[in-house]
Structure 1
Amino acid sequence: MVVVGLDVGTTSIKIVVLDPAQTLYAPVWAAEEQHEAYTIHSSERAEQDPSVLLGVAVNLLRSVPETLAARVDRIALTGQMHGVVLWSQQNANAAANQTPNLKDSSLLPVSPLITWEDGRCSSAFLADLHKQATSQMQLSSGYGVASLAWLAKNNPDILSKATACGTIMDFVACSICEDAQPCMTPTNAASFGAFDAAQSCWQQPYIEEVAGIRFDLLPRIVSSGTRVGRLKSGILQADRTTEVQVLAAEGDHPCSVYAALNIIARPSSSVPAVQPSHSVPQAILNMGTSSQVAIVVPRSGLPADLKLNPSVEIRPYFAPELCMIVLASQTGGNALAALVTAFSRCTTELSDDAGAISSDAAFSKLIEKGCSLVKQTDRPPSISFRPTFYGERADTAMRGQIANIGLDASGELDFSFVGLFVAACRDLMLHLATMLDQLVGDTIAESSPTLLHRLGIQNLIATGRAIQRNPLLQHFASAAFRVPVRVLPLDSRADSALGVALLALPTV
């Protein structure tokens, strides 16, 4: 069985082809294409053109080598969570007048993709939505149900034109199928909002009466691995006599967790397991643009005193007896990238062009000199630097903060760009660890057990380019979380495209 995994991401789309007869954890072919789908990208609005995303996805599918395309049995999709796009059916005459990306599609987007980054839902608007919500419901700006509620109040014409809605990967899945009916898996529905994970269904009274959304717009809930439809002919460039199944899309974060856990376990079996060990909770730190800490745990093992907030959710996993405690932080590689860009800008402002240094060169130099500084002295930088430039869902007003700048022994200002960068890496990890431990207490003493300790977790698996490429983050992670940290190598491909492809294979 040859499987394609397709990840419709925020900035790029990735594709992998998995042939377990050759190797289980290394794709036999892979590609990635950056897309230019943003039409608006600001702190208040974040919208992308769904036709651009569909076009890139189809082009990647068409680029699969013919020898592999002829053997593909299933296509599994994943991608950016939370966001929403609305669409309607279009007839052949209407399709003929569309852009090239939509000419072969029976679906017509009637809205942009409102992404997870969108900020149009104000605190007051969200507070009104939460007044009649259940205690377990978390809605933030950029969540599908919150965006739909905003449209219902401010632009109802869009809703009246639509026949269905979903995440961008739900739209792509339906668009490339001959016979698709809109559907959504629990991993996507939980990120959309107003989803009852225990009953695996939408909260219909809330959606209709509080959010003001037509319930018939929402896709039906299906289990992971459900067939959406058969792939349209001509998308895979090969002569075929059998149909290719397209499976219901999954959220990208749980798929990356699934890939990491399977890579760590490296089971001797030729097929992956839902989780390498169901009885032992496991924790994964994923740090890319933002950061997520996911703890896969049996539902029966959830701490009774767990405190949820807008930055924390209990999400479904791929087996009914398991769930994930997910801490989603807005702070990750983006914070360090912003800091390095500021450093680079300083060199440009204070020198002519010949003396300027690029952001990439500055980043490499700061890591190199930062590692040397850490090795040379046991004394950490006295400066503290909370790099929360983007706020957090639990505190949108939170901003970055530099403190404790003093004088060194010689009377000089105890401050340097390298020291500031080291402090940013250290305090970024401390910020994430503190957010995690505050789920079971307002303050955490160094002698008290952390949430990871209480759950019996003995190490933290780390993945994502931001931490994989930064030895300073790796160095400070273990001290911050107070458990050993195992960083997966960059070539491990523990990403969501691989994860969703593994999910499409038969499991033990």
Structure 2
Amino acid sequence: MASRSVTLGIDLGTTSVKAALLGAAPGDPSEFVVLASCARAARAEVAAESSAAGPQGREQDVSRIIQALSECLAALPRQQLQNVKGIGVSGQMHGVMFWKTGQGCEWTEGGPTTVFEPRAVSHLITWQDGRCSSGFLASLPQPESHLNVATGFGCATIFWLLKNCPEFLKSYDAAGTIHDYVVAMLCGLPRPLMSDQNAASWGYFNTQSQSWNLEILKNSGFPTHLLPDIAEAGSVAGRTSHKWLEIPKGILNISTSVQLAASMPSGFQPAQTPDPTAPVTYFPYFGGTYLGVAASLNGGNVLATFVHMLAQWMADLGLEVEESAVYSRMIQAAVQQRDTCLTITPTVLGERHLPDELASVTRISSSDLSLGHVTRALCRGIVQNLHSMLPFQQLQEWGVERVMGSGSALSRNEVLKQEVQRAFPLPVSFGQDVDAALGAALVMLQRSLNQNES
């Protein structure tokens, strides 16, 4: 394996951090092989830094995320890390964190454990954050964009902080997603750099002009100095400024990001007036194209809520059971229960196009109350909710011929896999838990191979 073709992909997800090493296949540089991969649970959820956020606040400890990232990389083969020539980075969209430029991390130099630790950073306020009420969002200026602004979007969160915690914002001079932060720290960037995909996910970004709505934001008192610079997804963000674990100094870094999504036909342009009731939104993709995205707020987190509820009920009855054991047992029960008449609408978090929608359970009968019935109905409801946002018929019209399922919720849940196959009568294939990291590494590998060919 020629060392020039080894690339590292990193995915900083909501619940876990993943890393993968890719290399060109021996004898065929157009193909790739997975050299190694690793995933670590982040366990980063913490209480909101501002009490004004209320119970709707959703924040994560950045130090825990970086710790999980370091553990992932430490588990990869040292020799392969030494051969890394490029790094691709992806992560959870919409969220925002803040830091002080030049002070955002501290490097521990020397030996095989050279790592960076966050300093002078805020919590990550995630895409799941619900502090921006419908009334508050209605008070914000109308964006010059084809995308609506929703709670959990970076710019909406900054507007909320400007109104409710203005002193908080004065402590920082840079902002970005969690993966923007990692790239900035690795490359020693004087200002954060954000892909156009992530900028669109923050709101107040025009994808045609590739620019922030600066005039609109300035007129509303928005701290525009916090906004990152913009780069096309897949472009080079910089080079590593330090040796990182076994990865040499001077390696290229790129930042990519992307959620049920289908690539739109070449030449497609979304309407420039946002439709707040539309379940599908359009985000920039590579090469000036767009992805049609049904970004449901109710997925694996709903299953986690159900598991926590069951564990809490048992604790109230004096029975202590690990949530991991509860999850395993309920999936086993649902695998045996192939069908049910019970119907669960799982929208406990609403949806961006239906923010006030709540969950419901209907068609309840005494014969459908087993754990298997309820879990099967819940998994089916999660998939059906997604299908209602982006139906099979729409996918057909767009020319979609195959469904590719990835992510931890699917990789660990046979029932969800069955329900996806039931809802989408197309060839369906399921990837690995580290697919997002593999995708980031693949983009970087393809870039490396193209450069070598030229």
State the TM-score bracket (shorter-chain normalisation).
0.7 to 0.9
* Cα distance in 2, alignment partners of residues 382 and 108 from structure 1: 53
Q: CA deviation at 1:493?
A: 5.0
Q: Tell me: CA distance 1:44–1:349, structure 2 relative to 1, closer, same or farther (3 Å).
A: closer
Q: Tell me: CA distance 1:306–1:429, structure 2 relative to 1, closer, same or farther (3 Å).
A: farther
* Cα distance in 2, alignment partners of residues 413 and 65 from structure 1: 52
Residue aligning to 1:293? 260
Amino acid at match of 1:231: T
Q: Percent identity?
A: 30
Say whether 1:484 aligns with 2:443.
no
Q: CA deviation at 1:371?
A: 4.1
The 5 Å alignment of 1:226-305 reads: 226-237=235-246, 243-247=250-254, 249-251=255-257, 254=258, 292-301=259-268
Residue aligning to 2:111? none
Q: CA deviation at 1:243?
A: 2.5
Amino acid at match of 1:28: L
Say whether 1:396 aligns with 2:350.
no
Q: CA deviation at 1:154?
A: 2.2
The 5 Å alignment of 1:305-384 reads: 309=277, 311-320=279-288, 322-343=289-310, 353=319, 359-374=323-338, 381-384=340-343
The 5 Å alignment of 1:435-450 reads: 435-437=389-391, 450=393
Q: Tell me: CA distance 1:207–1:104, structure 2 relative to 1, closer, same or farther (3 Å).
A: farther
Q: Tell me: CA distance 1:245–1:360, structure 2 relative to 1, closer, same or farther (3 Å).
A: closer
The 5 Å alignment of 1:387-466 reads: 387-406=346-365, 415-437=369-391, 450-466=393-409
SS in structure 1 of the partner of residue 445 of structure 2: coil
Say whether 1:6 aligns with 2:32.
no
* Cα distance in 2, alignment partners of residues 88 and 369 from structure 1: 50
Equivalent residues of 2:263, 2:290 under 8 A apart: yes
Q: CA deviation at 1:317?
A: 1.0
* Cα distance in 1, alignment partners of residues 62 and 415 from structure 2: 38
Q: CA deviation at 1:214?
A: 2.6
Show CA shifts across 1:104-160 (max 9, x none): 87985353222212222121111111x523462311122110111112222223333
Q: Tell me: CA distance 1:479–1:245, structure 2 relative to 1, closer, same or farther (3 Å).
A: closer
**TM-score normalized with structure 2 length:** 0.81
Unaligned runs of 5+ in 1: 97-102, 255-291, 375-379, 407-411, 438-448
Q: CA deviation at 1:385?
A: 2.0
The 5 Å alignment of 1:485-504 reads: 485-489=427-431, 492-493=432-433, 495-504=435-444
SS in structure 2 of the partner of residue 75 of structure 1: strand
Q: CA deviation at 1:428?
A: 2.8
Show CA shifts across 1:395-425 (max 9, x none): 233222122234xxxxx66643332333333
SS in structure 1 of the partner of residue 352 of structure 2: coil
Q: Tell me: CA distance 1:163–1:68, structure 2 relative to 1, closer, same or farther (3 Å).
A: same
Equivalent residues, number:
429
Q: CA deviation at 1:343?
A: 4.6
Residue aligning to 1:124? 135
Q: Tell me: CA distance 1:3–1:38, structure 2 relative to 1, closer, same or farther (3 Å).
A: same
Equivalent residues of 1:462, 1:488 under 8 A apart: yes
* Cα distance in 1, alignment partners of residues 163 and 121 from structure 2: 17
* Cα distance in 1, alignment partners of residues 65 and 409 from structure 2: 25
Q: CA deviation at 1:316?
A: 0.8
RMSD: 3.5
Equivalent residues of 2:368, 2:374 under 8 A apart: no
Residue aligning to 2:51? none
> After alignment, is 112-121 or 495-504 more displaced?
112-121
Amino acid at match of 1:237: E
Equivalent residues of 1:14, 1:33 under 8 A apart: yes
Unaligned runs of 5+ in 2: 49-53, 108-113
Residue aligning to 1:273? none
Amino acid at match of 2:58: A
Q: Tell me: CA distance 1:39–1:310, structure 2 relative to 1, closer, same or farther (3 Å).
A: farther
**TM-score normalized with structure 1 length:** 0.74
Equivalent residues of 1:181, 1:228 under 8 A apart: no
If you compute each CA radius of gyration, which structure gives the higher value, 1 or 2?
1
- Aligned partner of 2:232 among 220, 223, 235: 223
